[in-house]
Amino acid sequence: MGELNDRELEKIKQDEKIYQDLLKLKDRKGWQMSNVMKVYYKRYLKVLEKSRELYEAGQEYISQKVDVKVMKNRPGYTKLYVVLYQVEGDNLLRWEIVLKSISTVSSGRPVFDDEAAARQATTTNANPKTGYVAIWVDDMNIIQQPDEMALKDMNGNKIITIKQNALSTSNILYFVHGLNVTYDYTNNKLIARN
């Protein structure tokens, strides 16, 4: 895999910013107020679609050019930590199945932007039925909430709200078992770190 140069990275960030700005306009009132505005709205939707395609192409380019698992910062993405539960937690095969279907099993699970909060929720009691996954999540799929309105776990840590199907196995960085063992996730398999 190659390296992204500064110019490529800047272009991808710029496309992302334009897409985010255009997306904010979508929910504005007034698009249906007159026939002229309805025509503009149709044009706007075409521009929005082209911008989305550019944004997605940039993200695809990054994932092809660079191993996203080793990136410290990924444009357009935030590293989050999703707490998971598995009844047969001592069976790694069961954890692999959970991770493979991460987009569907994450509903209702605590999601944190601080790894210490995820670690506190899973490994402090050394419970083999719990664990957490570190994963890149597209910023567009994170629902922003003011701190005073955000949900908190029993330890007072802020829980992040994400859209449904916001998680993808290709964005998984690693998995930490409740017994405080870290695994890399490669080709749908858990591999213990040395």
pLDDT tens-digit map of 156-182:
899 999 988 899 888 899 999 988 899
174 CB-near residues (< 8 Å, 6+ apart): 69, 133, 134, 182, 183, 184, 185, 193
The answer on pLDDT for 1 being more than 60 is: no
Is residue 149 scored above 70 in pLDDT? yes
CA 124, 125, 128 angle in degrees (round to 5)? Answer: 110
Share the mean pLDDT of the chain: 86
Helix, strand, coil percent values for the chain (each to nearest 5): 40, 20, 35
42-46, 68-72, 74-78, 147-151: the lowest-pLDDT one = 68-72
Q: What pLDDT sits at residue 6? A: 74
Task: Give CATH for domain 75-190.
Answer: 3.20.170.50
Which one has a higher pLDDT value, 71 or 55? Answer: 55
Say yes or no to pLDDT of 150 above 60.
yes
What pLDDT is stored for residue 158 in this prediction? 92
Q: What is the pLDDT of residues 27-55, one digit of tens each?
A: 788 888 899 998 999 999 999 888 888 88
* Its pTM surpasses 0.85: no
> Nearest 5°: CA angle at 38, between 34 and 44?
140
Note the pLDDT of residue 138.
87
Q: Above 80 in pLDDT, residue 89?
A: yes
Overall average pLDDT of the 126-138 stretch: 91
- Residue 94: is its pLDDT beyond 90? yes
Q: What's the confidence (pLDDT) of residue 2? A: 57
Q: Are 119 and 176 in contact (CB under 8 A)?
A: yes
The arithmetic mean of pLDDT across residues 64-82, rounded, is 80
